[in-house]
């Protein structure tokens, strides 16, 4: 059989659900957006690429969904790189500084050397001022009260106005755009074309949809995941939620302690925790425990599994 006879002419894979929203912006924050400009491939492209690797022998055994779930579960990541998406986003520079740390994407950003900066800054409503978390140095917890919030938003408006005035004064005085921009606030919006393959996009979403991601970038990530990837590659999105976003990893020590608990070896579990430093060497049931971040993480997992926390159980004795 000749090479020519072996292959038929192809049509490009399309996704009607995604075509339906192509170019349409999803609003994010007060003046930001995400919209899809173009894409390459779909769930079937992942299967197709995987089957090149696995050859024809396995063709009939798997169905598409099963194969995609297998690939996701076992971190066979290269087939997911065979899909690509291009977004047009509008984001505060502060958020963009986090976004751009993902180095595996292609980027064209709006240039404030060439053009006048976008005349919009991300404004904080009075009820959106978040308080510093006490337990977590990088998080926030709860909101400022109404009076404080209003005062902060007013001060913000004053600062935004002065910053924009100073920027405009410089431009009017003939100062180069590349220098005039130097004191724009980080809240100033920027725009970019951002192109990334599906594997790296999922990695971005795993980190930026997580609870400890900053609230602002989480809004963007959630839209990209729930509105865009879900439409684009629904089988992959389902597998991602099951095996990545909502999966939990247990360390060697955690597995050891859980094994002991499921067969009722409470003392042995405590001994493991002492040996690995989760509990003090002189641990006594009922004693006050110093904070230990890894132990607290384990306790949360045990609670989630419905298992007793052995040192608390011990305390209760």
Q: What are 39's two structure tokens? A: 């894409």
Return the residues of window 7-36 that contact its own copies according to CB under 8 A: 7-14, 19, 21-25, 27, 31, 33, 35
Select from 91, 92, 205, 219 the one that contacts its own copies (CB under 8 A). 92
Should residue 273 be labelled a site residue for its own copies when binding is judged by CB under 8 A? no
Which 211-250 residues touch its own copies, going by CB under 8 A?
A: 214, 241-243, 246-250
Phi, psi of 34 (to 5 degrees): -135, 130
Which regions of 5-83 does DSSP assign to beta strands (E)?
26-28, 32-40
Q: How far is the CB of 109 from its own copies (least distance, A)?
A: 6
CA angle 72, 76, 81 (to 5 degrees): 90
Q: How far is CA 211 from CA 17, 198, 248, in A?
A: 28, 21, 14
**What secondary structure does DSSP assign to 58-111, as a single string?**
GTTT--HHHHHHHHHHTT--GGGGG-EEEEEEEEEHHHHHHHTT-TTSEEEEPP
| Nearer to its own copies (CB atom), residue 249 or residue 286 | 249
Asked if 43 interacts with its own copies (CB under 8 A), we say no
**3-state class of 12 per DSSP?**
coil
Which one among 119, 146, 183, 296 touches its own copies, defined by CB under 8 A? 183
Tell me which stretch binds its own copies (CB under 8 A): 103-111, 218-226, 229-237, 279-287: 103-111
Q: Is 231 a catalytic residue?
A: no
User: By C-alpha distance, which of 120, 235, 242, 113 is closest to 178?
Assistant: 113
Question: Residue 122, interface with its own copies (CB under 8 A)?
Answer: yes
- Which part of the chain contacts its own copies (CB under 8 A), choosing from 170-178, 227-235, 267-275, 280-288? 170-178
Element (H, E) at 240: helix 234-240
Coil, strand or helix at 144: coil
Smallest distance from its own copies to CB 59, Å: 10
Closer to its own copies by Cβ: residue 159 or 287 = 159
**Site size toward its own copies, by CB under 8 A:** 137
CB atoms within 10 A of CB 82: 19
Stretch that binds its own copies, among 39-47, 229-237, 267-275, 278-286 (CB under 8 A): 39-47
Q: Of residues 97, 208, 244, 293, which has the active-site annotation?
A: 208
Report if residue 106 touches its own copies, rule: CB under 8 A. yes
Paired with 245 in beta bridges are none
Of 47-55, 219-227, 228-236, 266-274, the segment contacting its own copies by CB under 8 A is 47-55
Q: Does 147 bind its own copies (CB under 8 A)?
A: no
With CA atoms as reference, report the closest residue to 77 among 212, 187, 240, 194.
240
């Amino acid at each position: 059989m000749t090479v020519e006879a072996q292959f038929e002419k192809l049509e490009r894979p399309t996704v009607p659900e995604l075509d339906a929203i192509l170019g349409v912006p999803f609003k994010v924050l007060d003046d930001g957006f995400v919209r899809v400009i173009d894409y390459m491939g779909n769930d079937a492209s992942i299967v197709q690429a995987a089957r090149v690797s696995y050859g024809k022998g396995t063709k009939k055994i798997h169905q598409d969904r099963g194969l995609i779930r297998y690939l996701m579960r076992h971190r066979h990541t290269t087939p997911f790189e065979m899909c690509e998406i291009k977004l047009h986003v509008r984001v505060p520079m502060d958020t963009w500084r986090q976004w751009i740390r993902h180095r595996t994407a292609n980027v064209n950003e709006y240039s404030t050397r060439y053009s006048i900066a976008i005349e919009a800054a991300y404004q904080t409503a009075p009820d959106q001022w978040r308080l510093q978390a006490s337990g977590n140095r990088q998080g926030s917890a709860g909101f400022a009260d109404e009076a404080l919030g209003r005062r902060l938003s007013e001060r913000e408006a004053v600062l935004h106005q002065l910053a924009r005035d100073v920027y405009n004064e410089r431009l009017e005085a003939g100062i180069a755009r590349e220098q005039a921009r130097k004191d724009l606030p980080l809240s100033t919006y920027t725009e970019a074309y951002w192109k990334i393959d599906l594997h790296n996009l999922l990695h971005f979403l795993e980190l930026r949809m997580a609870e400890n991601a900053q609230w602002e970038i989480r809004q963007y990530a959630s839209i990209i995941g729930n509105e865009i990837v879900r439409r684009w590659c629904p089988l992959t999105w389902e597998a991602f939620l099951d095996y990545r976003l909502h999966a939990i990893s247990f360390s060697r020590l955690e597995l050891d302690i859980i094994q002991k608990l499921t067969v009722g070896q409470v003392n042995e579990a405590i001994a493991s925790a002492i040996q690995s430093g989760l509990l003090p060497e002189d641990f006594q049931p009922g004693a006050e425990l110093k904070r230990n971040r890894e132990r607290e993480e384990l306790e949360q997992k045990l609670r989630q599994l419905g298992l007793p926390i052995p040192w608390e159980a011990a305390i209760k004795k």
